Amino acid sequence: MNSTTTRNPSPANPSEYGQPSPSIELANGGIAAETGAMDGQIAAEAIATVASSQATPTKRKGNPLINRNFALLWSGQAISILGDMVFTTTLVIWIATQLARGQSWAPLAVTGVLLAASVPAFLVGPFAGVFVDRMDKRRMMLRMDGFRALIVGALILATGAVALPFLPGGRLPILWTLGAIYAVVTLVNIADQFFRPAMMALIGDIVQPDARARAMGLGQVSISLSLIIGPALAAPLFVVFGAQWALLIDMLSFVVSFLTILAIRAPKAATSLAEGEQANFLREFGAGLRFYAHSRVLMTLLVTVIIAVLGAGALNTLDVFFATGNLHASVSLYGLLGALSGVGAIVGAILASVFAQRIGVARLLWGSLLALGVLFIVVSRMTNYVPALVIFALVGVFNASLNVAAGPLMLQATPRELLGRVNSVFSPAMNAGILLGTALAGYLDGVTLHGLHVVALGMAFGPVDTIYGASGILIALSAIVAAMGLRGVDRAARAQANTPTA
């Protein structure tokens, strides 16, 4: 969950609680089933098989944070992600207003941070799951937090807060400073590829199945608040105290995360290797791929997510142009759309965590996608700013409920020893879909549909609103795919929950 990636509107990483934003976000999830028809009996058998391999966490009635272990994890991650948001925002301000101020290459320098944050997901993410599945998950998280605290703290030396010997003026040259920033962001996000799937597995170990939706909802709330508070705090902090304080805050947030994880009393973690078994990366990696490929529902979920994020790319790329062009709003009012979406995400996370089990997490997943598709289509026809505010708030609500539903689906279906490798399949494919959707929306608006003006059925169609409408159709289509592929899953999960254990 905690990461120093730039938290732009994009789908959440699979093993995170999820990230609310004006776009569609989907935390990793899915439920494994045998290859072939997915009827209730087969689903029940699949879930029973998984349930038999999972730990049974304790639950204290009346505890709003579920139990002691999850309360520790949640509080540490809430502080850590707030530190990340302050850090990430500060990096952009630091580069744009100081290091590259007045330079023609300033936008490229800021883009370098985005690239440094994104590359590890593709180069390391697909393979990290093998090592996560081998190790004790809590120990893996402790190592990653300790490593990230050290390297973020080391970056303080590049701010000029401490005079460096043997260097002119006691500080690094600008290009070296930029290089240090990119290196730290890359290393932090490499560590994140190991931390997040390990955290997802730990949640499965310490939170009982009927409380996992609430766990995901609490994570959504903390992330939404951080997305609102972090950037607002970072700018004045940078102006008054400089970049070193943001780095110090993020370093200390990793220390807090380390200490809270250290205090967790988790059951023995499942590992992919039996005692005395020889490690073999290719064999273990292949086993993860086979598990995923043989699961009809996991494959359905993957197709669903790729279709959805292709549609969501329009909002990632064109929201500012839609607000100023189609809704005739000033640039100063543009930020209010995102703010209301963030508030909606908080409300949606709370509501979804309360009602997810009653509705059924699979039904909540495809229902949220369907609602988001309809909202996209409706807002594409709007030309008034005020009603659009309501739509964007509702987008936040259903975006959060989508994330709340996805995590429990993955946890209840994937054996503990395979969670890392399942993430390694899902996460890179989803991230590729995000990039493709974002690039496609920009290309359609700037090239293919540039200058479009068509009147049909009494309605005028321009490039941005046409792309928004098409995006809504894609997202609604992903809901249909999910509804068909996840049919019977909720019924099977209820049957399993009502089955007495020996």
Quote the pLDDT of residue 265.
92
When computed from its CA atoms, the radius of gyration of the chain, rounded to whole angstroms, is: 23
Angle in degrees, CA 19, 252, 248, rounded to 5: 100
Give the phi and the psi of residue 392 in degrees, each rounded to 5.
Answer: -65, -35
Quote the pLDDT of residue 78.
94
Structure tokens at 233: 């705090």
Is the separation of the CB atoms in 3 and 223 below 8 Å?
no
DSSP per residue, 390-431: HHHHHHHHHHHHHHHHHHHHHHHHS-GGGHHHHHHHHHHHHH
pLDDT band at 48 (very low <50, low <70, confident <90, very high): very low
Domain boundaries, the chain: 30-55+281-502, 58-269
Q: Whole-model pTM?
A: 0.81
Question: Measured between alpha carbons, how far is 337 from 433 in angstroms, rounded to an integer?
Answer: 24
Indicate the Cα dihedral angle 97, 102, 104, 110, nearest 10°: 0
Is the pLDDT at 47 greater than 60? The verdict is: no
pLDDT band at 58 (very low <50, low <70, confident <90, very high): low
87: closest CA among 107, 121, 117, 108? 117
Structure tokens at 372: 């988001």
pLDDT band at 381 (very low <50, low <70, confident <90, very high): very high
| CATH topology match: 30-55+281-502 vs 58-269 | yes
What's domain 30-55+281-502's architecture?
Answer: Up-down Bundle (1.20)
Is the pLDDT at 168 greater than 90? The verdict is: no
Residues β-bridged to residue 454? 461
Fill in the amino acid letter for 268: K
Fill in the amino acid letter for 397: V
Quote the pLDDT of residue 414.
87
Question: Measured between alpha carbons, how far is 183 from 472 in angstroms, rounded to an integer?
Answer: 38
pLDDT tens track for 474-497: 999 999 999 999 988 888 777 776
Q: Is 171 left (phi over 0), alpha (psi -120 to 50) or beta?
A: beta
Question: Measured between alpha carbons, how far is 376 from 441 in angstroms, rounded to an integer?
Answer: 14
Quote the pLDDT of residue 41.
36
* CATH 3.30.70.20 correct for 58-269: no
Q: What is the mean pLDDT of residues 452-462?
A: 82
Look at the block and give the residue holding tokens 């505890």: 63
pLDDT tens track for 248-288: 999 999 999 999 999 999 888 778 887 778 888 999 999 99
Question: Measured between alpha carbons, how far is 116 from 114 in angstroms, rounded to an integer?
Answer: 6
Quote the pLDDT of residue 7.
36
Structure tokens at 322: 């839609």
Question: Measured between alpha carbons, how far is 17 from 1 in angstroms, rounded to an integer?
Answer: 6
Q: Which residue has the higher pLDDT, 34 or 383?
A: 383
pLDDT tens track for 194-220: 999 999 999 989 998 888 888 999 998
